[in-house]
A and B are shown apart, each in its own frame.
Chain A
Amino acid sequence: MARRLAGFLVLLLVVSICEAAFLFQPISDSHRSTALELFTPDHGSFKSLEETYEALRTFQILGIEKKPDLTATACRSISETVGSSSSTAKDLFYALKANSIAECKIDKKASKGIISRLKAAVSGASSLLDFYYSVGGLVLIKDQSSEADVHLADAEGVFRSVKAFSQSDGRWRYSSNNPESSAFAAGIALETHAGIVSLASSEIDQSLISTLKNDIIKLFDSIEKYDDGALYFDDKLVDGHEYQGPVSTTSSVLRGLTAFAAVTAENLNLPGDKILGLAKFFLGIGVPGDAKDFFNQIDSLACLESNRVSIPLILSFPSTVLSLTRKDSLKVGVSTVLGSEVPSLTVKLVGAFSSGSKDASLVESQELNFDKTSGLHILNDLPKSIDVGSYTFVFEIVLHEPKHEEVYFKGSQTKVPISVTGLIKIENSEIAVLDSDLGSIESQKKLDLAGKNAISLSANHLQKLRLSFQLTTPRGRSFKPHQAFLKLRHESKVEHIFVVGNSGKQFEIVLNFLGLVEKFFYLSGKYDMELTVGDAAMENSLLVAIGHIELDLPEAPEKAPRPPPQPVDPYSRYGPKAEITHIFRAPEKRPPQELSLAFLGLTILPLLGFLIGLLRLGVNLKNFPTKPLPATFAVLFHVGIGAVLLLYVFFWVKLDLFQTLKILGFLGGILVFVGHRILSHLAAASAKLKSA
């Protein structure tokens, strides 16, 4: 059975490589070391019996030795759970599952108690999970205890109750009130059904089992696919709590499937490639980082390894890149999913095709030699028809004994992408400057493209530059590399790149400077030349400086395009700028203080002159009123005018306009009143004088 599964997996692997070049590696030592890291208990014991069981089962499958203290703590928690009367069916289920690996002793009384509790749980179950835990527990205790008689009384009734949760699309619901159905629940249901069948005291009606088979086929209709051929089951993400993820869902379905296939005598008629797709899915995970995913992967691969449907076989390749220089040989390994032994078989190389071409195979069908020491199938010498480049090799497995064909699934052909590299010979490389019209050579130099070159040439715009070389593969054929460029770089860092074309083995480029004058922006001067020849299959790709050429081009006309600005050193453009010092307005030139003071004196002079003139005219105060009241007014009038003038002086020195206006309003009011009184008095006095 294991071999059938292995053959299946091999075939699956082959088919997977057809679609995309993903290579599946079987389980290896890196898995074992990761398992030891992931499944480390916290302070010696795991958080729950479920985790204890997962750790034990993983170590068992991977063949890691059981640590005695781990087993001891596991036994302690198992007996605790088993002995306690408050454990639920779920706790008992996981305790018994862990016990199936840890193999602790359970005494008769406890096992009797468990059996009766689980039977009660079965009759009282209402949801799918209740049935799962109780039936599963009974199956486990039947194997573990010496009690031979563990049966389900009404097996058909229980069968029908579990079947009632199924949907038409092959999925199962968790309970009658929850309408959401999932493939994860389907896996659980299948395991439960398998348990019921194995516990039944009498034969279950075959029609019920066939309906279940139909459900499985319908479930497989909902399988999802990745491009590389991996198949998996996934549920819609409706409620975050219930969603399990594709790894858990697929492994649950696979467990149920395997369990059910083990109890029915009939063939499930599942196509081998579906099983292979599931194997690809689990192998494609690589080494998971999560303990739950790790357990699911390993457990599912173990189911695949030992199921009754088909055991896939896997082809693995230590290296898919071969070097002609090192004379590498092609090595192929064949194993099962978990890396176990396979029966004797031969790997045949059916054909090799150039990538992307549909031509006939480059090699004829041949068998690979099996090397007993390394366990690998080896193709010793690559055929002469395989040159450097990328190819698709097609392999086929041939099992030696026909009876293995039923157990293992080897499938049809596997396509593998293989890359072949080698040293490319570069010969006859030379560079020359030619005269345009006649094609005669003005100067010609040989190049050594493998070593250093420092060629110095000169040309003007009427001449041409020719560079040529030959490329040959190790097998003597012509070779077209991915990159063959000639780069000319001017002193001002302006670059021009040209592709070197070929005809057969000869690679040649001719630069006609007459046509390139405008492209070179009319820049004359020294140009550095650089040649690049590169390819993925070329082990000696090169980027060499050839030397330099002095180009003499004509002057640029008015409207010629300017060369593109070269990238500026970012620090100079975005760096700090020069500091600006503010230049203040130069103050006006003021005259010397003495001059200003002199003119101040001069300004006072006319006033003095006015006063002297007044005196000479005989100014007198005879008209000043003598009576007290008018005299007061007269005095006030003069004082008022003086006060206003003083206010103006203060205004100039200290006050602002609004303050001045306020005080002026006040003073002005007084002044007007007083002035009116005195002036009207004077007017009356002079009128009296005139009339008199």
Chain B
Amino acid sequence: MARTSSSKENAQALFHSLRSAYAATPVNLKIIDLYVGFAAFTALIQVVYMASVGSFPFNSFLSGVLSCVGTAVLAVCLRIQVNKENKEFKDLPPERAFADFVLCNLVLHLVIMNFLG
């Protein structure tokens, strides 16, 4: 009894600490996180739709899901590069990373639009 309750308490304590730590992150990183969440949710809704009505036309489904996944991935890359605590990308200006992000997204969406059908 005490063990389970302690684990439950531990979980709650962990959760709270995570929340407070997250509040400390800079705003631009939170924007990026929010964007990633939005892309993931969109992908999820598309998968649920496909599961309910069938995979015809499959190319459209792939195109939609991969656009969300792709843009999420690019956003994650942007977050890594922009994060000041990341020593690896210290010398990279964040504007440059943002320019890369925009360019890659534009290329991704060109391909997605071609594949959409």
Q: Is A683 at the interface (CB under 8 A from chain B)? A: yes
Contact among A590, A614, A641 for B102, CB-based, below 8 A: A641
* Nearest opposing residue in chain B for A645, CB measure: B109
A652: which of B31, B34, B49, B116 is its contact (CB, 8 Å)? Answer: B116
Query: Do A599 and B31 touch across chains, with their CB atoms under 8 A apart?
Result: no
Residues of A within 8 A of B99 (CB): 675-676, 679
Q: In the complex the two chains form, is A619's CB within 8 Å of B49's CB?
A: no
Within 8 A of B (CB), among A636-654: 641, 644-645, 648-649, 651-652
8 Å CB contact of A609 from B31, B41, B116: B41
Cβ–Cβ contact A613 & B34, under 8 A: yes
B16 at the binding interface (Cβ < 8 Å)? no
**A85 in the interface (beta carbon within 8 A):** no
- Given the known interface contacts A589-B54, A599-B45, the answer about A607 and B38 at a Cβ–Cβ threshold of 8 Å is yes
Q: Is the CB of A679 within 8 A of B95?
A: yes
**Within the assembled complex, what's the spacing in Å between the Cα atoms of A643 and B110?**
13
Flag whether B30 is at the interface (Cβ < 8 A).
yes
Using known A-B contacts A606-B45, A644-B106, determine if residue A651 contacts B95 with beta carbons closer than 8 Å.
no
A595 CB contact (under 8 Å) in B38, B53, B106, B110 = B53
The closest CB in chain B to the CB of A644 belongs to B106
Q: Is the CB of A614 within 8 A of B109?
A: no
Interface of A is mostly: helix
Interface residues on B, range: 20 to 34
B46 at the binding interface (Cβ < 8 Å): yes
Q: Mark A565-592, 1 if CB is under 8 A from B, else 0.
A: 0000000000000000000000011110
Interface residues of B in 18-36 (CB under 8 A from A): 27, 30-31, 34-35
Known: A602-B49, A649-B113, A680-B95. 17 other contacts (CB 8 A): A588-B56, A590-B53, A595-B53, A599-B45, A599-B49, A603-B45, A610-B34, A610-B35, A610-B37, A614-B34, A618-B27, A645-B109, A648-B113, A675-B99, A679-B95, A679-B98, A683-B93
Contact B110 A606, beta carbon cutoff 8 Å = no
Taken together as a complex, chains A and B put the C-alpha atoms of A648 and B52 apart, in Å, by: 28
Cβ contacts under 8 Å, B54 to chain A: 588-589, 591
Tell me the A residues contacting B by CB distance below 8 Å. 588-591, 595-596, 599, 602-603, 605-607, 609-610, 613-614, 617-619, 641, 644-645, 648-649, 651-652, 657, 660, 664, 668, 675-676, 679-680, 682-683, 686
Question: For residue A588, which residues in chain B have a CB less than 8 angstroms away from its CB?
Answer: 54, 56
A683 and B34 contact, Cβ closer than 8 Å, known pairs A606-B41, A675-B102: no
Interface string of B27-67 (1 = CB under 8 A from A): 10011001101110110011011001110100000000000
Q: Could you tell me the distance between the alpha carbons of A686 and B96 in the complex, rounded to whole angstroms?
A: 13
- Separation of A595 and B45 alpha carbons in the complex (Å): 13
Sample (24) of A-B pairs whose CB atoms are under 8 Å apart: A588-B56, A589-B54, A591-B53, A599-B45, A599-B48, A606-B37, A606-B41, A607-B42, A609-B41, A610-B35, A610-B38, A613-B34, A613-B37, A617-B34, A619-B27, A641-B106, A644-B106, A648-B109, A648-B110, A651-B113, A651-B114, A679-B95, A679-B99, A683-B96
- Known A-B contacts A588-B56, A683-B95; the reply to A606 vs B38 at CB < 8 A is yes
Which residues on B are within 8 Å of A, measured CB to CB?
27, 30-31, 34-35, 37-39, 41-42, 45-46, 48-49, 52-54, 56, 93, 95-96, 98-99, 102, 106, 109-110, 113-114, 116
Chain B residues with Cβ under 8 A from A660's Cβ?
110
Task: Check if B38 sits within 8 Å of A682, measured CB to CB.
Answer: no
Are A682 and B27 CB-contacts (below 8 A) given A589-B54, A603-B42, A610-B38?
no
Bound together, the chains give a CA A607 to CA B27 distance in angstroms of 19
| Neighbouring A residues of B114 by C-beta, 8 Å | 651, 657
Q: Which residues of A contact B46 (CB under 8 A)?
A: 603
CA distance A602 to B41 in the complex (A): 10
Q: Are A614's CB and B31's CB within 8 A?
A: yes
If the complex has contacts A610-B35, A679-B98, are A617 and B45 also in contact, measured as CB distance less than 8 A? no
Of chain A, the residue at the smallest CB distance from B33 is A613
Contact between B31 and A617, CB atoms less than 8 A apart: yes
Contacts of A682 in B (CB 8 A): 95
Min CB–CB distance B66 → chain A (angstroms): 15
Please, which residue of chain A has its CB at the minimum distance from the CB of B117? A652
CA–CA, A683 and B96, complex, Å: 9
Residues of A within 8 A of B30 (CB): 617
* Residue of A590, A606, A619, A668 most packed against chain B (CB within 10 A): A606
Q: Chain A's nearest CB lies how many Å from the CB of B104?
A: 13
Chain A residues with CB under 8 Å of B45's CB are: 599, 602-603, 605-606
* Residue of B with least CB distance to A601: B45
Residues of A within 8 A of B39 (CB): 606
Bound complex: CA A599 to CA B51 (Å): 12
By beta carbon, the residue of chain A nearest B57 is A588
In Å, the complex CA distance between A680 and B31 comes to 22
Contacts of A617 in B (CB 8 A): 27, 30-31, 34
> Would B96 and A679 count as touching, CB distance under 8 A?
yes
What residues of chain B lie closer than 8 Å to A618, measured between beta carbons? 27
Q: State the CA gap A595–B49 with chains docked (Å).
A: 9
Nearest CB of chain B from residue A684's CB, rounded to whole Å:
10
Nearest Cβ on chain A to B42's Cβ, whole angstroms? 5
Contact flag A609-B95 (CB < 8 Å), given A652-B116, A675-B102: no
CA distance A535 to B113 in the complex (A): 93
* Cα-based distance from A172 to B109 in the complex (angstroms): 108
A613 nearest in chain B by CB position: B34
Q: Give the distance to chain B from A657, nearest Cβ to Cβ, in Å.
A: 6
- Are A609 and B49 in contact (CB-based, < 8 A)? no
Select from chain A the residue with minimum beta-carbon distance to B41: A606
Q: Closest residue to A652 on the B side, CB-wise?
A: B113
Residues of chain B contacted by A668 (CB below 8 angstroms): 106
Interface centre among B35, B48, B93 (most CB of A within 10 A): B93
Q: How far is the CA of A645 from the CA of B30 in the complex (A)?
A: 25
Chain A residues in 8 Å Cβ range of B31: 614, 617, 619
